[in-house]
Structure 1
Amino acid sequence: MSKLTQSSTWQTLQGLSKQLPHMRQLFAEDPQRFSKFSARDCGLLLDYSKNRIDAQVMQLLLQLAENSGLPHKIAAMFAGEPINTTEKRAVLHIALRAPADADIRVDGVNVVPEVQATLAKMAAFIEALYSGKWRGCTGQKITDVVAIGIGGSFLGPKIISEALKPYWNGKLNCHFVANVDGSCLSDKLKMLAPETTLFLMSSKSFGTQETLTNTLSAKSWFLGQGHTQADVAKHFAAITSNVAKATEFGIDADNIFPMWDWVGGRYSLWSAIGLPIALLIGMDNFLALLKGARAMDVHFAATPLSQNLPVIMGLLAVWYNNFQGAQSHVVLTYDHYLRGLPAYFQQLDMESNGKSVTLDGETVDYTTGPVIWGGEGTNGQHAYHQLLHQGTALIPADFIMPLQSHNPLGVHHQQLASNCFGQTQALMRGRTYAEALAELQDSSLPEAEKQLLARHKVMAGNKPSNTILMNKLTPETLGALIALYEHRTFVQGAIWDINSFDQWGVELGKTLGNDVLSRLAATEACTALDSSSNALINLFRQQKI
């Protein structure tokens, strides 16, 4: 057994995990339960009262955090220590939204001035496009930007841009390309004119396979429309660490934005990777997004653990994952603009905490990252919510909703809220056999059929959920919400003693994919791999089954 699972705190939590009464009883016994198990800051309210917890469980979870050195680990991240131990890197996405007068050091150098310089460069870039100072090779204004990236260089910008659609200023159109499937890029190019299109390539190495392939194809399309290599500089820009490769491609050095080793891709939307967001909503709104995230950073670093929003959410996730047998976690957004958020949190959590060894390289003897999934709330109610209510799996849920709509229309938002709050109540309460039978008493069914139907309508309840509310979805509240989940992810990794900031599983897939690519291009039949891979490669080369 590991030090973690041998600890008295862990053992006590295991003992309590099956002893708690039903949440119905917990609410009945304590009329003040909501006030005791809710917290608010940074424009967000977290109601975690509908969880399988009591004061003792929360106290023990907080003790687990203390025993795991969470306060020290938080301080180490903010101090720029190399907490990404396998790559010997600092983890400083918090520096991307730090105030200009902050002093955050990597290898003794304050990185904040470079971050601020990049923000200023982004602002000048945007203004040049908005004003028409930047023009294409034929003298026309740029009307469309195609953002090419993958992973965090794609998901963050795309999903946050969608979430902030009410703040789009209409000065530019932005299109996102990630999938190396040729249909993805082709469909976008059919809508565009090369003379008025700017391609924005995001790759730290300027060599990420999917991103480079899409960028090279975009360049071929551009040149194929009668333009020259000299014209490329007016229609391509890049976010990369490899300035040499970008300039060799034809991109002007003035239009290359930096990426830093101390920022992981899934934490990078606050940097120049977020340029597509800023192009759509303007630099002032992008800075407001950073401001909201910075407020959550301050909260996370300074607030006592017992009232700390990311700490509470992270500890609850550990409670269900390690002591209640939950294997997945669902995120349900009751706002159309936030519909992509579950996919963003999916990458954030699963790429960070999908690990099976501790920082010391020992195999864990406890479960780590759960499967994260979800979607729009009301749509899910007519689909997978059935599993949440009556399925055999325990699936904790997060419900996210703004109190005010950007598009008030009749009773729409009131109905949306009623569904959100009603679902959390139904998950908590459930329906007993007696209640189901009572509801059928006025029907004309025979008594035996009533009893049978009642059994099918029973829901155990006691299904946990968090509700996160904000007054309105704004750049600032969204920034705080994203940072909340970033830090929640960190808390889980700190408890599990894993590195939440590398992704060697992703790297293996890239390596093997490149090997397969070379075999697909070979002239001789593939025989060197396993029988399945050999057969699939050879079938692809034959282009028929």
Structure 2
Amino acid sequence: MSDSKLEAAWARIESLAAAPEAKTIRALFKADPDRFANFSQRGAGLLLDRSKTSVSPEVQAALLDLAVAADVEGKRALMASGGIANPTERRAVLHMALRSQLPEAPEACAEARATLERMREFTEAVHRGELRGATNQRFDTVLNIGIGGSDLGPVMVGRALWRAGDPMRPIHLGNVDGHGWETVLPMLDPRRTLVLVSSKTFTTQETMANAHLVKRWMEASVGPAGALQHFVALSTNLKATAAFGIADDHVFPFHDWVGGRFSLWSAIGLSLALSLGWDRFQALLDGAAAMDSHFLETPMDQNLPILLALTEVWHVNGLGLNRRAVLPYDERLRRLPAHLQQLEMESLGKRVTVAGAPVRRATGPVVFGEPGTSAQHSFMQLVHQGPKPVPVDFILIARPDHRHIENHRILLANGLAQSEALLTGRNAEEVVADMRAAGADEETIARLVPHKIFPGDRPSVTILMPHLDPFTLGALIALYEHKVFTLGALWNINPFDQWGVELGKVLATPLVRELEAGVPGADHDGSTAGLLAELLRLQG
């Protein structure tokens, strides 16, 4: 598609967004009694409801035209075939090969299956007690040391799915802050703990600092030689893992076509296989594969990831709404917003196009969130009555895995009520009527009416899941992964690199040496030099 047609498609979106009715949602329901049915789609066991947005049929048609003009389907085919979908690093992007059969990328799929088979054999050997620690005791705890994509995905999934009685207890150590280690230390018995060091390069500063700390702790209990029986590496750097002392048969690699924030399906997911059991880890992969098939095969006007991405384009580029809240109404998904922060903001926080030119439109919004109903007692005040709308993703689970049905009814009712309140709001007349019915005097009514008005017409989407299990969680995570790809295609940016995290890492190295030596360097800006000097004074 030519640049002129792409710009025409963008101009159409911007023209529709400038119309007075572009921000009105309630009127769309009045005009279309079947709006919920027309703007709800299903795939891989999930239901996506976009009816509570201002995407009208005309806007939807324009957004789909934009997807055609941006060649979303062509770029999708390139990714699935193993083409260079990450052009700055000249890499393929094949995380789908870790869980799906991709006919045009058979070599990657075969490599992925070989690694998964090794992971399965290792997991089952640990669970059978064939692999034990230095004191011949069975492992009952897996400690995963990683950061970023080597931590956030496994932490999120582990906390969502682990339950008492599962094969091993998962513990995660991500932040280099020693307080994190002190927090998990009382939960660990060195004789029964299997340690996974998750770093593709085996040079990640925070991860390796924690790995050496844990190694010293393990050596103090079972000796230097025995400690190495407790360590596994998830890495591609065999030279570095050997230098650490980890045998090659305890090293599980993953490929450069797997980005960190897309890697929980790879060897990085070994902590999940060990803690949940292989069958449940496989079900996680199967759920993601079901969403892969939906994404690759379903027409765009029914395709959940593409429609979710197009809705975000409408909000970000059409309406100028550059923030989004994620509210999972399930305590088990407490860490999902954090995982999505990395997945989306690290992928889509880009200021230049694939060709290196400055972007002409806004790209990734700020993502934040908390579980409901806790969020209702914190930032939802801003979402309801702040001067600028904040789109919300509500995630609801129909059936819980507990017997406290009344609690679950209250949870679901609150999730539905929040999205309904954002849509309908409450005008002055309704506020006055409610206050009079409650017996308020006229002076109080006049004073409080402006504060009690809810503007309404505030957008949200709802993702409804029948229950939370490995399959549905796999589908949910893959839904957001493919949304990120689609947004990258629409914005013409590369969502698979992350150069923005590099500079801080580079600058941290000399600062570590200066803090260790107690002598500040000369090559810092005035603020950093002053703060460094003050820190050294306070530590001295």
TM over 0.5: yes
Matching residue within 171, 194, 198 for 1:198 = 194
* Partner Cα separation in structure 1 for residue 174 and residue 405 of structure 2: 38
Number of residue pairs the alignment of both structures matches: 537
User: Which residues of 2 match residues 446-485 of structure 1 at below 5 A?
Assistant: 446-485=441-480
Matching residue within 84, 107, 110 for 1:110 = 107
The residue number in structure 1 matching 2:221 is: 225
Matching residue within 409, 418, 430 for 1:414 = 409
Amino acid at match of 2:511: V
* Partner Cα separation in structure 1 for residue 209 and residue 158 of structure 2: 24
User: 1:96 offset after TM fit, Å?
Assistant: 0.5
User: 1:523 offset after TM fit, Å?
Assistant: 5.3
Q: Does the alignment pair 1:19 with 2:20?
A: yes
Amino acid at match of 2:184: K
**Change in CA separation of 1:519 and 1:27 when aligned onto 2, cut-off 3 Å:** same
Deviations 1:372-406 (A, max 9, x none): 00111111112211111111122110100111010
* Partner Cα separation in structure 1 for residue 331 and residue 528 of structure 2: 41
**Equivalent pair of 1:147/1:202 in contact (CA under 8 Å):** yes
Q: Does the alignment pair 1:186 with 2:182?
A: yes
**SS at 1:393's partner residue?**
coil
**Equivalent pair of 1:325/1:394 in contact (CA under 8 Å):** no
Deviations 1:275-325 (A, max 9, x none): 111111110111111011011111111111100000000001111111111
Compute the TM-score of the two structures, normalised by the length of structure 1.
Answer: 0.95
User: 1:450 offset after TM fit, Å?
Assistant: 1.6
Range 9-18 or range 485-494, more displaced? 9-18
User: 1:448 offset after TM fit, Å?
Assistant: 3.8
**Change in CA separation of 1:19 and 1:252 when aligned onto 2, cut-off 3 Å:** same
**Change in CA separation of 1:459 and 1:178 when aligned onto 2, cut-off 3 Å:** same
Amino acid at match of 2:183: D
* Partner Cα separation in structure 1 for residue 7 and residue 187 of structure 2: 60
Amino acid at match of 2:397: P
**Equivalent pair of 1:352/1:489 in contact (CA under 8 Å):** yes
* Partner Cα separation in structure 2 for residue 308 and residue 245 of structure 1: 43
The residue number in structure 2 matching 1:292 is: 287
User: 1:119 offset after TM fit, Å?
Assistant: 1.1
* Partner Cα separation in structure 1 for residue 410 and residue 439 of structure 2: 32
User: 1:5 offset after TM fit, Å?
Assistant: 11
The residue number in structure 2 matching 1:510 is: 505
**Change in CA separation of 1:477 and 1:524 when aligned onto 2, cut-off 3 Å:** closer
**Equivalent pair of 1:20/1:53 in contact (CA under 8 Å):** no
Amino acid at match of 2:320: G
User: Which residues of 2 match residues 262-341 of structure 1 at below 5 A?
Assistant: 262-341=257-336
**Equivalent pair of 2:70/2:490 in contact (CA under 8 Å):** yes
* Partner Cα separation in structure 1 for residue 382 and residue 369 of structure 2: 12
**SS at 2:431's partner residue?**
helix
* Partner Cα separation in structure 1 for residue 404 and residue 4 of structure 2: 52
User: 1:265 offset after TM fit, Å?
Assistant: 0.3
Deviations 1:381-433 (A, max 9, x none): 12211111111122110100111010131411111111111111110011111
**Change in CA separation of 1:525 and 1:448 when aligned onto 2, cut-off 3 Å:** closer
**SS at 2:436's partner residue?**
coil
Amino acid at match of 2:16: L
Q: Does the alignment pair 1:58 with 2:41?
A: no
**SS at 2:517's partner residue?**
coil
* Partner Cα separation in structure 1 for residue 507 and residue 522 of structure 2: 16
* Partner Cα separation in structure 2 for residue 152 and residue 7 of structure 1: 35
Amino acid at match of 1:23: I
**SS at 1:110's partner residue?**
helix
User: 1:539 offset after TM fit, Å?
Assistant: 2.5
User: Which residues of 2 match residues 72-471 of structure 1 at below 5 A?
Assistant: 72-99=74-101, 102-105=102-105, 110-166=107-163, 169-225=165-221, 227-228=223-224, 230-471=225-466
User: 1:226 offset after TM fit, Å?
Assistant: 5.3
**SS at 2:51's partner residue?**
coil
* Partner Cα separation in structure 2 for residue 170 and residue 4 of structure 1: 57
**Change in CA separation of 1:6 and 1:242 when aligned onto 2, cut-off 3 Å:** closer
* Partner Cα separation in structure 2 for residue 97 and residue 32 of structure 1: 37
* Partner Cα separation in structure 2 for residue 273 and residue 468 of structure 1: 27
* Partner Cα separation in structure 1 for residue 126 and residue 6 of structure 2: 59
User: 1:191 offset after TM fit, Å?
Assistant: 3.2
Compute the TM-score of the two structures, normalised by the length of structure 2.
Answer: 0.96
* Partner Cα separation in structure 1 for residue 405 and residue 35 of structure 2: 33
User: 1:20 offset after TM fit, Å?
Assistant: 1.9
Large movers: runs of 4+ above 4 Å: 2-6
Amino acid at match of 2:176: V
Deviations 1:228-277 (A, max 9, x none): 2x223311011000011112211111110012100000000001101111
**SS at 2:394's partner residue?**
strand
* Partner Cα separation in structure 1 for residue 263 and residue 497 of structure 2: 14
**Change in CA separation of 1:445 and 1:74 when aligned onto 2, cut-off 3 Å:** same
**Equivalent pair of 1:95/1:104 in contact (CA under 8 Å):** no
**SS at 2:212's partner residue?**
helix
Range 425-434 or range 440-449, more displaced? 440-449
**SS at 2:179's partner residue?**
helix
* Partner Cα separation in structure 1 for residue 440 and residue 249 of structure 2: 77
**SS at 2:137's partner residue?**
coil
User: 1:12 offset after TM fit, Å?
Assistant: 2.1
**Equivalent pair of 1:232/1:250 in contact (CA under 8 Å):** no
* Partner Cα separation in structure 1 for residue 494 and residue 153 of structure 2: 21
* Partner Cα separation in structure 2 for residue 353 and residue 413 of structure 1: 35
**Equivalent pair of 2:46/2:463 in contact (CA under 8 Å):** yes
User: 1:170 offset after TM fit, Å?
Assistant: 3.0
**Change in CA separation of 1:103 and 1:443 when aligned onto 2, cut-off 3 Å:** closer
**Equivalent pair of 1:128/1:134 in contact (CA under 8 Å):** yes
* Partner Cα separation in structure 2 for residue 98 and residue 255 of structure 1: 25
* Partner Cα separation in structure 2 for residue 5 and residue 165 of structure 1: 49
**SS at 2:295's partner residue?**
helix
Amino acid at match of 2:466: N
* Partner Cα separation in structure 2 for residue 444 and residue 375 of structure 1: 36
**Equivalent pair of 2:426/2:453 in contact (CA under 8 Å):** yes
Q: Which has the higher helix share?
A: 2
Deviations 1:324-374 (A, max 9, x none): 111210100111111111111111000000000001111012111000001
* Partner Cα separation in structure 1 for residue 244 and residue 439 of structure 2: 77
Amino acid at match of 2:72: L
* Partner Cα separation in structure 2 for residue 132 and residue 62 of structure 1: 54
Show structure 1 runs of 5+ residues with no match.
none
User: 1:128 offset after TM fit, Å?
Assistant: 1.6
**Change in CA separation of 1:475 and 1:147 when aligned onto 2, cut-off 3 Å:** same
